[in-house]
Amino acid sequence: MKNSIPTHKNCKNCGACCGIIPVRESEYKEVKKYLKKFPFIRKLASERQETDAIVCPFRNNEKSRCDIYRVRPMACRLMGVVGAMQCKHGNSAGLDGRGYLKGHGREPTVILNAVDWGGNI
């Protein structure tokens, strides 16, 4: 399903949408698995949390990108392409996001910003 989401063509990599990031438990597990392959990203996330708990810890401002882009959560994938998730640079699609979030409420949710990425995960 996530492969059917179109790319947000108006994205400027500004990071304005990289705030508090809710994720399904399955997405959280996918991020943890990814970080086992790239422990330096986990270290950077932990350091970023010390300075700003409101910005997603995987937002790399120096490179204007997401450090976990390959496994980014559904909320991030939908930004700017779903009508209800407005990008300040304009949406490039007006999709109805309900189909992508089907069953989302049944799975426990984790807030990426609240995870201690410096501890044992």
Total of domains in the chain = 1
Residue 2: pLDDT band by 50, 70, 90 thresholds? low
Does the residue 57 lie in any domain? yes
Taking 70 as the threshold, does the pLDDT of residue 91 lie above it? yes
Residue 76: pLDDT band by 50, 70, 90 thresholds? very high
Does the residue 120 lie in any domain? no
How many alpha carbons fall within 13 Å on the CB side of residue 113?
A: 12
pLDDT of residue 119: 80
Residue 35: pLDDT band by 50, 70, 90 thresholds? very high
pLDDT of residue 1: 60
The count of other CB atoms within 10 Å of the CB of residue 121 is 13
Give residue 76's domain range: 2-114
The count of other CB atoms within 10 Å of the CB of residue 90 is 10
pLDDT of residue 101: 74
